Amino acid sequence: MTGNELRSKYLDFFRRHGHAVISGASLIPENDPTVLFTTAGMHPLVPYILGEPHPAGTRLTDVQKCIRTGDIDAVGDPSHLTFFEMLGNWSLGDYFKDEAIRMSYEFLTSPEWLGISPDKLSVTVFAGDDDAPRDDESASVWRSLGIPEERIYYLPKEDNWWGPAGQTGPCGPDSEMFMDTGREACGPDCRPGCHCGKYFEVWNDVFMQYNKQADGTYAKLQRKCVDTGMGIERTITILQGKASVYETELFTPIIEEITRISGIAYGGGDEADTSIRIIADHVKTATFIIGDPRGVTPSNLGQGYILRRLIRRASRHGRKLGIEGAFLSQPARIVIDMYREVYPELAEKMDFILKELTSEEEKFLKTLQKGEHEFEKLLPSLEKNPKKQIPGRLAFKLYDTYGFPVEITEELAAEHGFSVDREGFDAAFAKHQEASKKGAEKTFKGGLADQSELTTRLHTATHLLHKALRTVLGEHVSQKGSNITPERLRFDFSHPDKMSPEEIRAVEDMVNEQIRRDLPVTMEVMTLEQAQKAGALAFFGDKYEEKVKVYTMGDYSKEVCGGPHVSHLGELGHFRIQKEQSSSAGVRRIRAVLESVE
């Protein structure tokens, strides 16, 4: 079964079971400062899991583009990916454990769907602890479906519990499904979740029935929800009997292009294979980030920094394969061609994607030349050291100041008979990471799960700001992203020039005028087509026939949005722009606050 077939079958199955097929969200989360990218299918649905009504109803299914960056350095082995597609289905206070598990079992085992032999399935359920009891309910459903007791495993919270996303919020036990690959067990304690490769996870049903409180206790939720996830790449790997995701059709065309450019064959099990996998994964991820409807470009901050890191790491591994000059646009064309029907935005933005990849690669190649020059300047003093070792702090300086990868420092060092103090470099790097992490923890608070009065007010203000910017600057202005904490809003929008002080003041005055008018905020559910005919702004790629929420603010603003919002604009207080600056090429960024009116 191919990835395209799995995607189609999954949505068709849940459509038949009364689920509305909804659009996947952007890779760049809206109004969520807690993460840089959308990390799972449930991520954009957190407000609805918390109780916000979804316009499509209580049974939903979709395919979500996801990026996880925690394992970037592990990419290159046969299994890790940064970009993947997650299939999901949700119950928002509708069905719960019994129906969710029965649907999962039917899709996995029925010959009409995946046709996996029930004899190959093992499942896990929550073992229980002081916070919540053992999940006997899920185990009972699995037994009733014919899964024998010896293939039902009770595992602790670290294995079979999801959430909350932050310190508090919805969470609950999960039940995971594993397929036995037929490999020998690694020992008597081998079980699903073991890393030896005998058991391959194919699906996860999460049962959100608790709300973790600030004091660490778990209260039962009044409205129970189900959230499931199945990764396309991992699932087709096991269905096709492949040893690695890189052996499936979702990667082989990209790998073939890299081997064509480099002249190095894939499959030898050596370092070249690792480099080829890194390039294949990173170029796919970079293509999707740049090509997203809210796509970003390489920069030194946030999503742009991750994108820059991916491109530069791929470029460096191209160099290791002997590829000279910028080359990533060539495998990127293959990625676009592979996914153009499922994600047409990639084809629409192809020229822009290829231009940004090439531009960033060329910048990196210049960086390498500069770093090599700095290394040559250091050589005379280094050669006076009888130890013939480059200090770790010096290697880190080359990395931190010039973006010079430590591996290339090691290559140059070896050419001159030196080694690099990797322990010293790693210690300096760890110190740098810890400082970055503290900065991130300070920055990333709030998020989709934060539906406090403060964030609701700021979210409402972004609509007024958007309309005012279009009125003052022109209708070319469109939202490129927003990020809201309880303290402030951040709003990115398309505009080529720095705003003048007069323009900033005009926007502020326009927003505050609407607040003084105390306009009512109303919401209607309609199709996207109806919303556009009604004059609502909509920029982020919902399907034409899909139902959406349209928020109207008096006679001033009408926009498609998920919510939540205040009921009257007079609740907002005084709007003030703190800063207007460049975010990336052709995109400006505004930071603003709402102040109480005495």
Give the CA angle between residues 116, 118, 240 to the nearest 5°: 20
336 closest CA partner among 321, 357, 316: 357
Token representation of residue 397: 């300086």
How many other CB atoms are found less than 10 A from the CB of residue 434?
10
Q: In what order do the strands lie in the sheet with 489-494?
A: 479-484, 489-494, 587-595, 574-584
Helix %, strand %, coil % of the chain (to 5): 45, 20, 35
Task: Say how far apart CA 565 and CA 464 lie, in whole Å.
Answer: 12
The answer to whether 398 touches 371, Cβ cutoff 8 Å, is yes
Burial class (CB in 10 A: 0-12, 13-18, 19+), 435: exposed
Task: Say how far apart CA 201 and CA 507 lie, in whole Å.
Answer: 52
206 closest CA partner among 277, 100, 69, 51: 100
The answer to whether 123 touches 152, Cβ cutoff 8 Å, is yes
Q: Where is the binding site for Zn(2+), in residues?
A: 459, 463, 561, 565
Token representation of residue 409: 């420092």
236 closest CA partner among 458, 7, 400, 490: 7
584 closest CA partner among 26, 28, 25, 31: 28
Q: For 220, which DSSP code?
A: E
First to last CA, the chain: 65
Task: Say how far apart CA 556 and CA 552 lie, in whole Å.
Answer: 8
108 closest CA partner among 96, 130, 94, 123: 123
Q: Where is the binding site, in residues?
A: 459, 463, 561, 565
522, 526, 529, 535 alpha-carbon torsion, rounded to 10°? -10
Give the CA angle between residues 41, 44, 46 to the nearest 5°: 100
The answer to whether 246 touches 255, Cβ cutoff 8 Å, is yes
Q: Say if strands 218-231 and 83-92 run parallel, antiparallel, or are unpaired.
A: antiparallel
Task: Say how far apart CA 539 and CA 30 lie, in whole Å.
Answer: 12
169, 68, 81, 13 alpha-carbon torsion, rounded to 10°? 50
Instruction: Give me the residues paired with residue 124 across strands.
Output: 153, 176
Task: Say how far apart CA 294 and CA 481 lie, in whole Å.
Answer: 6
Q: How many CA atoms lie within 13 A of 596 on its CB side?
A: 2
